[in-house]
Amino acid sequence: MKHRTTLLLLVQLFAWFALQAQEIIRVGVIGLDTSHSEAFIRLLNADDPEPQYAGFKVTAAYPYGSKTIESSVKRIPEYTEGAKKNGVKITTSIAELLKTVDCVLLETNDGTLHLEQAVEVIKSGKPLFLDKPVAATLPDAIAIYRFAEERNVPIFSSSALRYSPRNQELRAGKEGKVVGADCYSPCTEEPSHAGFYWYGIHGVETLYTLMGTGCESVSCVSTEGTDVAVGVWKDGRIGTFRGLREGARPYGGTAFCEKKMFPAGGYEGYGKLLETILTFFKTRVSPVDQTETIEIYTFMEAANESKRQGGKPVSMKAIYEKATKEAPIVR
């Protein structure tokens, strides 16, 4: 019995040393002006993290982040103090942060800063997750992906709504082919971001999670409280996004499948998205092809153009080609 007890203690001791020796993947956060940063730090730096988050830790953060959008700026002091309490070193620049981390969460709420910030990370060669929006304009989004491809650096962007378990089931065909979808989400506006880019991205990402790529034209009607964008896919399917600014403003939608219609998934926290991001950091393979992400932003810009033209249908191809010509050349 004594020998068995000693053996058990040795096994436990060996396991403890193995755990201590486990290499931690160091995560850097850019932008402490959003609740996403706070949530990711809390999940990864917990005293006893969930198994799916083990092996990663946020070790450094650069707070900025927006310097002009009031709703974002006012969060920075609180989230900075919270990060410090969770053992995160606060840096004075992105360059300083990049020296001490293995991968990066670009969380800055202000998409107008994303091109500049993403380029700095991409030049370092470190895997990069870009939180919504990829950028505040389609040309900037195209420039980011083009530069990452040229440098062979993996990047990934997504709304958390894509990873609602129900949306993933519908995308995988659990209920048969999705022949159409109507999706909705809050769609508050921000003058520095065109149309849906600031917040409507959540509902548009849900729409694309269900429908996939292949939209050819978009028309959009708009009032003070609501936008409704209608996309026609090349196979004849129709998908809509309703952006909500008044009344109830939930996340969700309806998927019209081959035999029945089903509710789409809504917001269920950041956990599933974070799991996917960590897998991406390990594999360096984006779970969402860049062509789909770029098409999502093309859809939103086509909706903007349709609104400018009084609701007329706008060609996705024309919008993409125009934005490609306008995309900044990054060196």
DSSP per-residue codes, 194-218: -GGGTTTHHHHHHHHHHH-S-EEEE
- Please say whether the dihedral angle defined by the alpha carbons of residues 105, 108, 109 and 110, taken in this order, is positive or negative: negative
Indicate the helix (H) or strand (E) that contains 103: strand 103-106
* Beta sheet of 128-130, edge-to-edge order: 89-90, 56-62, 25-30, 103-106, 128-130, 155-157
Could you give the 3-state DSSP secondary structure of residue 5?
helix
| pLDDT for the residue numbered 194 | 85
Low-confidence ranges of the chain (pLDDT < 70): 1-22
Indicate the helix (H) or strand (E) that contains 26: strand 25-30
Q: How far apart are CA 121 and CA 153, in angstroms?
A: 9
| pLDDT for the residue numbered 5 | 46
| pLDDT for the residue numbered 12 | 42
Written as one string, the DSSP assignment of 228-267 is EEEEEETTS-EEEEEEE-SS----EEEEEESS-EEEPP--
Identify which of 117, 161, 97 has the alpha carbon closest to the alpha carbon of residue 296.
161
pLDDT per position as a tens digit, 244-263: 999 999 999 999 999 999 99
| pLDDT for the residue numbered 287 | 97
Q: How far apart are CA 149 and CA 147, in angstroms?
A: 5
Let me know: does 65 contact 59? Beta carbons within 8 Å: no
Query: How far is the CA of 35 from the CAs of 40, 153, 284, in angstroms?
Result: 9, 27, 25
- Report residue 208 as tokens: 């694309």
Q: Give the length of the chain.
A: 331
Let me know: does 246 contact 259? Beta carbons within 8 Å: no
| pLDDT for the residue numbered 320 | 98
pLDDT per position as a tens digit, 141-192: 999 999 999 999 999 999 999 999 999 999 999 999 999 999 999 999 999 9
For helices 290-308 and 138-151, angle between their N-to-C axes, nearest 10 degrees: 160
- Report residue 59 as tokens: 């070790």
For residue 1, the tally of other CB atoms under 10 A from its CB is 5
| pLDDT for the residue numbered 47 | 92
| pLDDT for the residue numbered 3 | 54
Q: How far apart are CA 308 and CA 301, in angstroms?
A: 11
**Rg (Cα) of the chain, in Å, rounded?**
21
